Amino acid sequence: MVCENHTRVTEFILLGFTSNPEMQISLFVLFLSIYVVTLLGNFLIVTVTSIDHALQTPMYFFLQNLSLLEVCFTLVMVPKMLVDLVSPRKVISFVGCGTQMYFFFFFGSSECFLLSMMAYDRFVAICKPLYYSVIMNRSLCLRMAVGSWMSGVPVSMLQTAWMMALPFCGPNTVDHFFCDGPPVLKLVTQDTAMYEMQALASTLLFIMFPFSLILISYTRIIITILKMPSATGRQKAFSTCSSHLIVVSLFYGTASLTYLRPKSNQSPESKKMVSLSYTVITPMLNPIIYSLRNNEVKGAVKRTITQKVFQKLDIF
């Protein structure tokens, strides 16, 4: 459908969180601090898992990919959000909005599948420990990682192409801090029932399918752990999964509130807070969770820092 007697929207206005200048400055400082911590934490994970030989295992290979995904994921929204907080005109072009939406769907879907691959890795490690090195060989890990990254292509292309092909002929004010699907869909000047059905179907496929794989993996893991005769063995086995379980709970719990209930009675402010949790807060918490709850990562960080210190002392 073309926009009859109306001009097609060429840009969108993002309302963000508040129009209060003082509050905007405070939010800018807060979110900038969170973003810096997010980048430092995730790049630290990438660095130590790359250079420390003790972490050259499938588990940390997937953790490295998760950290890279988190960096890319936040890069899609946070810089633009920070600019808007200090800019008097919070606009994004129609093409820019579609691009942001595409990469948001891409990295979000990729993370869903990567989390399921990490769950499968823990399943093999705990349920089939004698075959772990054979099953989780380098070739399989690379294919799983590439498959996880590429899994975001179909959903992002489909969702974005359908969304941006809809007619936007009226209001162009998005009551959100980035171009997310549900708030942008409200601006479409035609019945969107067909698109909503398609969006829900793809959401169920690309969010719930990997989540089902995670549930199956952890069901088998829990059964295996409960059969272990040693309490120490059970505790050690569970500790290797606890960080991943926390990350999965944070990511899926908040994302499900937005995309499995797109027409909920939540206020726009509540929806923004939920979106903020999985786009800004969770990527910051992930490296902290894995660092604080994992002795191997903490040991690798200490060794890396110590090595750098001694290298500098040798120079002097």
In this structure, are strands 173-174 and 11-14 parallel, antiparallel, or unpaired?
parallel
Instruction: Single out the residue of 72, 81, 57 nearest to residue 109, CA to CA.
Output: 72
Phi, psi of 108 (to 5 degrees): -65, -45
Distance of CA 18 to the CA centre of its chain: 25
Domains of the chain: 19-311 (1.20.1070.10)
For tokens 């109306």, name the residue. 6
Stretch 72-96: mean pLDDT, rounded?
91
Q: What is the mean pLDDT of the chain?
A: 84
Asked if residue 65 has pLDDT above 90, the reply is yes
Q: What amino acid occupies position 97?
A: C
pLDDT value of position 42: 92
pLDDT value of position 242: 82
* Angle CA 240–246–252, to nearest 5: 130
231: its two tokens: 């309490």
Asked if residue 241 has pLDDT above 60, the reply is yes
Best-predicted range by mean pLDDT (1-15, 40-54, 182-196): 40-54
Best-predicted range by mean pLDDT (197-201, 230-234, 235-239, 243-247): 243-247
Task: Encode pLDDT of 130-179 as tens digits.
Answer: 999 999 999 999 999 999 999 888 888 888 888 888 888 878 888 888 99
Separation in Å, CA 169 to CA 5, 7, 98, 173: 9, 6, 16, 12
Instruction: Single out the residue of 281, 262, 283, 282 nearest to residue 271, CA to CA.
Output: 262
pLDDT value of position 261: 60
Stretch 290-304: mean pLDDT, rounded?
70
pLDDT value of position 277: 85
Other Cβ atoms closer than 10 A to 62:
25
pLDDT value of position 176: 87
Contact 70, 43 (CB under 8 A): no
Q: CA–CA separation, 63 vs 69, rounded Å?
A: 10
Task: Encode pLDDT of 98-138 as tens digits.
Answer: 999 999 989 988 998 999 999 999 999 999 989 999 999 99
Give the range among 15-19, 46-50, 288-292 with minimum mean pLDDT: 288-292
Instruction: Single out the residue of 256, 260, 276, 278 nearest to residue 268, CA to CA.
Output: 276
Identify the residue with better confidence: 62 or 265.
62
pLDDT value of position 137: 93
pLDDT value of position 121: 93
